[in-house]
Chain A
Amino acid sequence: MVKSVIPTLSESEVTPEATYLKRRDFLSTGVAGALGVTVMPSFAAGTPFEQKAAAAKTTYKIDEKLNSLEDITQYNNFYELGTGKTDPYKNADKLKTDPWSIEVGGLCAKPGKYPLEDILQPHTFEERIYRLRCVEAWSMVVPWLGFSLASLLKRFEPSSDAKYVAFHTLYDEGRPLPGQNRPVIRWPYREGLRMDEAMNPLSFMAVGLYGKTLPNQNGAPIRLVVPWKYGFKSIKSIVKIEFVKEQPKTSWNTLQPSEYGFYSNVNPKVNHPRWSQARERRIGELFKRETLMFNGYQEQVAHLYKNMDLARFI
């Protein structure tokens, strides 16, 4: 039974990287099928997270080469763990994700402080392979594991007055993370989306990548992923979600409004004042490639901005 399943699995279907690699061996070098087969049943058992991860289907993918787990986990912008690209990897153990809870507030029927288990409990997991485009003109392709943001937000029954949703990253003044000892940006890190952006099917809450628990440096235990916007919009290690009427203050926008807009949609035609956004370096490639409008998600999101001048609303 299992034997027939293995060869038909698509390259991108969810599996932890180890299995991924093993399967690649199996496919390319013809290692005995048994190798792949023996790995599969081990996922059926385990924690609820592991079970859901094992059951996850790939619901969104692109035909581009995935970045390696090493690249994704050792080249990060996560200033809470340091401003260097490898600092978050080095300081990853400083972030404690257990216990974790999210405070939900503002204009909704079900505010409260929810333990992470309660947040995750009703959601089945899916895998989505998205491009990630950093405002610094580099990009990656990441297989995220999680569930749609809309499915989470709907549970709190936001009122019709809620026009925006705001997010905060962890900031414990008594026990700051290594990067939070200096006011490089104002802590806590804040981000936000317009309600219709948040409810767009592409908006995603990631709890894992490559089929496994999200590594701390990638924003564990739960982070936002909005693939048509510059990476800094995809706020990590979320502890607070608030439904608000007015456009919320967001970190980079507050620091330098002329350089980082509230929307920050990937747009090759609108340059960052100090550098070009027309091209990007895909991590793993030597030369730069063209940046796509809305990071290639034009079809799914362009309608959100149809009456807006995108050169003005950066």
Chain B
Amino acid sequence: MALKTLTRWLGHVLGVLPALYLVALSAFGGLGANPIETLTHQTGRWALTALLLSLAVTPAVRWLRFDRKWHVKYLMPWRKILGLYAFFYAVLHFLIYLIFDLSFDFHFLWADVKDRPYIAVGFIALCLLLPLVATSNKKAQRALGKRWIALHRLVYLIDALVLVHFFWLIRADYSSFWWYAGAYLFLMMFRLKVVTTLFSRPL
């Protein structure tokens, strides 16, 4: 029990750390000449990072072959923590854009969603996260049963949309994008049945 609480607290501490760092940078003028751009890019990157990390939890658990009770109790909760923090950073990312880029004008938002595929794709990804957040508690999980797993597989699509969103705004230098895309493809590989059976087979 104590270890479980500790896990949760550790999750929250790690989750808010990037946000606190950005707040500290803002306070001390460390965001550079275009602070809004820095904040937008950073929150976007942390959302994507958390999404990819949450995608890594299940394969990691399988691969480590921990005894079932232990990993269900202490490792699987990271999937939820990381998922919720991905949403947290995605919301910050969206709010910064809405407030500072669009001056809170919903006409601009509609125009952007309508005319610019990369904005539309990012916006859809954010919307798709909502049902996952809403059903991230034990109660919903029990109520949905098997359908819960199917619903939460939406995250595969969400991650892909986020990567497209990222890809579409790059002007020429794709170097950092390929790291994220590579990580996604690598982690998705473990969703292939061939691979999962390979890794879950006992020695």
Binding site for B on A (CB under 8 A): 70-71, 74-75, 79, 83, 85-86, 136, 138, 182, 184-185, 255, 271, 274-276, 281, 283-284, 286-288
B173 at the interface (CB under 8 A from A): yes
Binding site for A on B (CB under 8 A): 32-37, 100-101, 103, 111-112, 115-118, 168-169, 171-173, 175
Enumerate chain B residues within 8 angstroms of A71, measured Cβ to Cβ: 33
The answer to whether B175 and A182 touch across the interface, beta carbons within 8 angstroms, is yes
Smallest Cβ distance from A139 to chain B, in angstroms? 11
The answer to whether A281 and B33 touch across the interface, beta carbons within 8 angstroms, is no
Q: Which residue of B lies closest to A135 (CB)?
A: B171
Q: Give the residue of A74, A83, A283, A288 whose beta carbon is less than 8 angstroms from that of B101.
A: A288
Given A71-B33, A85-B34, A283-B33, A274 and B173 contact (CB-CB distance below 8 Å): no
Smallest Cβ distance from A305 to chain B, in angstroms? 24
The answer to whether A184 and B173 touch across the interface, beta carbons within 8 angstroms, is yes
Enumerate chain A residues within 8 angstroms of B37, measured Cβ to Cβ: 85, 138, 281
The answer to whether A286 and B100 touch across the interface, beta carbons within 8 angstroms, is yes
28 residue pairs of the A-B complex, CB under 8 angstroms, read A70-B33, A71-B33, A74-B32, A75-B32, A79-B172, A83-B173, A85-B37, A136-B171, A138-B37, A182-B173, A255-B172, A274-B117, A275-B116, A275-B118, A276-B111, A276-B112, A276-B115, A276-B116, A281-B34, A281-B36, A281-B37, A281-B100, A284-B33, A286-B100, A287-B100, A288-B100, A288-B101, A288-B103
Enumerate chain B residues within 8 angstroms of A286, measured Cβ to Cβ: 35-36, 100
Main secondary structure of the interface of A (DSSP, over half): loop
Given A274-B168, A275-B116, A288-B101, A283 and B36 contact (CB-CB distance below 8 Å): no
Enumerate chain B residues within 8 angstroms of A184, measured Cβ to Cβ: 172-173
**Nearest 4 CB-CB pairings of A with B:** A75-B33, A83-B173, A71-B33, A184-B172
Enumerate chain A residues within 8 angstroms of B169, measured Cβ to Cβ: 274-275
Q: Which residue of B lies closest to A138 (CB)?
A: B34
Bound-complex Cα distance A184 to B171 (A): 10
Smallest Cβ distance from B22 to chain A, in angstroms? 15
Enumerate chain A residues within 8 angstroms of B34, measured Cβ to Cβ: 75, 85, 138, 281, 283
The answer to whether A287 and B118 touch across the interface, beta carbons within 8 angstroms, is no
Bound-complex Cα distance A275 to B112 (A): 8
Enumerate chain A residues within 8 angstroms of B171, measured Cβ to Cβ: 136
Q: Which residue of B lies closest to A73 (CB)?
A: B33
Q: Which residue of B lies closest to A82 (CB)?
A: B173
Enumerate chain A residues within 8 angstroms of B175, measured Cβ to Cβ: 83, 182
Enumerate chain A residues within 8 angstroms of B103, measured Cβ to Cβ: 287-288
The answer to whether A185 and B33 touch across the interface, beta carbons within 8 angstroms, is no
Enumerate chain B residues within 8 angstroms of A283, measured Cβ to Cβ: 33-34
Enumerate chain A residues within 8 angstroms of B35, measured Cβ to Cβ: 286
Q: Give the residue of B32, B116, B172 whose beta carbon is less than 8 angstroms from that of A85.
A: B32
The answer to whether B33 and A85 touch across the interface, beta carbons within 8 angstroms, is yes
Bound-complex Cα distance A286 to B99 (A): 10
Given A74-B33, A283-B33, 16 more A-B residue pairs with CB atoms under 8 Å apart are: A75-B32, A75-B34, A83-B172, A83-B173, A138-B34, A138-B37, A182-B175, A184-B172, A185-B172, A271-B115, A274-B169, A275-B118, A276-B111, A276-B116, A281-B101, A287-B103
Enumerate chain B residues within 8 angstroms of A271, measured Cβ to Cβ: 115
Smallest Cβ distance from A59 to chain B, in angstroms? 27
Bound-complex Cα distance A283 to B36 (A): 10
Smallest Cβ distance from A200 to chain B, in angstroms? 27
Enumerate chain A residues within 8 angstroms of B100, measured Cβ to Cβ: 281, 286-288
Centre residue among B33, B115, B118 by max chain A CB count within 10 A? B33
Bound-complex Cα distance A71 to B111 (A): 31
Bound-complex Cα distance A86 to B38 (A): 11
Bound-complex Cα distance A83 to B175 (A): 10
Bound-complex Cα distance A184 to B101 (A): 28
Q: Give the residue of A79, A185, A274 whose beta carbon is less than 8 angstroms from that of B116.
A: A274
Q: Give the residue of B32, B111, B112, B117 whose beta carbon is less than 8 angstroms from that of A86.
A: B32
Smallest Cβ distance from B123 to chain A, in angstroms? 14
